[in-house]
Amino acid sequence: MTAPASADAGPPPAAPRAAPPGCGALFAGFLGLGLTGFGGVLPLARHMIVERRRWLSPAEFTDLLGLCQFLPGGNIINLSVAVGLEFRGAAGAVSALLGLILGPTAAVVALGVVYDQFRDDPRVQGLFAGLAAAAAGLLVAMALKMLAPLRRQPVALGIVGLCVLAIALLRLPLLPCMAVLAPLSVLAVGWRGR
């Protein structure tokens, strides 16, 4: 309502950016994200950073996420570093990263203590075995979902198959496998897909 209606066809009227966050706000924002993000933090991260706190515009967010997906490491971990660095340099990056992982670390250790304490109780064993089986099932579902878009690409499927053979069946170390498979994958698929 308050945005002045401009007559010229400039860039679309972006939502006003909030003031650049300080280290405390970065820490608090990512702490909340870490504690509430069950089963996938990415959609929540976009909501927090773009819509609720308005630290970045949608385009800036997509751009930073592109970098974070390109580099090794968890997307959200990298994103926290990149966002922190953009606003407050190294101190901001550390604040955001620590905020993101402190809460979940406390949570997993608490679960680990419970697991260790009660692992000899057959009912608790059953409970954790069922939990682990369900977690494995979710991983299978994720793999199938990622596989679906490749189903009409025989070359890509061949590389997937090679990868499963080398890593899951032959149990070869990751580093030499990647040294062979990554260039092969890029040459065979990336180049053709241009």
Partner 1 sequence: MNTLVALALIFTQLSLLAFGGGNTILPEMQRQVVQVHGWMSAQDFAALFALAQAAPGPNMMVVPLVGWHVAGWSGLLVASAAKFGPSSLLTAAVLGLWKRFRDRPWRRVVQAGLVPMTVGLVAASAVLITEATATRPALAGIAAAAALLMLLLKPHPLWLLGGGALAGLLLA
Q: For the CB of residue 180, give the shortest distance to partner 1 in the complex, in Å.
A: 10
* Interface region with partner 1, contact rule CB under 8 A, candidates 2-10, 18-26, 51-59, 92-100: 92-100
DSSP secondary structure letter of residue 189: I
Nearer to partner 1, 4 or 123 (CB): 123
In the complex with partner 1, the residue whose CB is nearer, 14 or 134, is 134
Cβ 3 to partner 1 shortest distance, Å: 28
Q: Which of residues 33-72 bind partner 1 (CB under 8 A)?
A: 34-41, 63, 66-72
Build a one-symbol-per-residue string for 113-132: x at contacts with partner 1 by CB under 8 A, - elsewhere.
--x------xx-xxxxxxxx
d(CA 121, CA 134): 20
First vs last C-alpha separation in the chain: 44
**In the set 22, 54, 57, 77, which binds partner 1 (CB under 8 A)?**
77
Identify residues 133-192 at the interface with partner 1 (CB under 8 A): 133-147, 150, 153, 155-157, 159-164, 167-169, 171, 173-175, 178, 181-182, 185-191
Binding residue for partner 1, selected from 86, 87, 88, 95, defined by CB under 8 A: 86
- Contacts with partner 1 by CB under 8 A: the residue count is 95
Q: Rounded distance, CA 156 to CA 150, Å?
A: 7
Count the Cβ atoms, other than its own, within 10 Å of residue 33.
23
Closer CB to partner 1, 28 or 167, in the complex: 167
The residues, ordered by sequence, that sit 6+ positions from 52 with a Cβ below 8 Å of its Cβ are: none
Q: Alpha helices of 41-173 — where are they, by DSSP H?
A: 42-46, 58-70, 75-118, 122-147, 154-164
**C-alpha–C-alpha distance, residues 139 and 145, integer Å:** 10
Residue 4 in contact with partner 1, rule: CB under 8 A: no
Q: How far is the CB of 1 from partner 1 (least distance, A)?
A: 34
CA–CA distance, 159 with 68 (Å, rounded to integer)? 24
Q: In whole angstroms, give the CA distance from residue 31 to residue 95.
A: 10
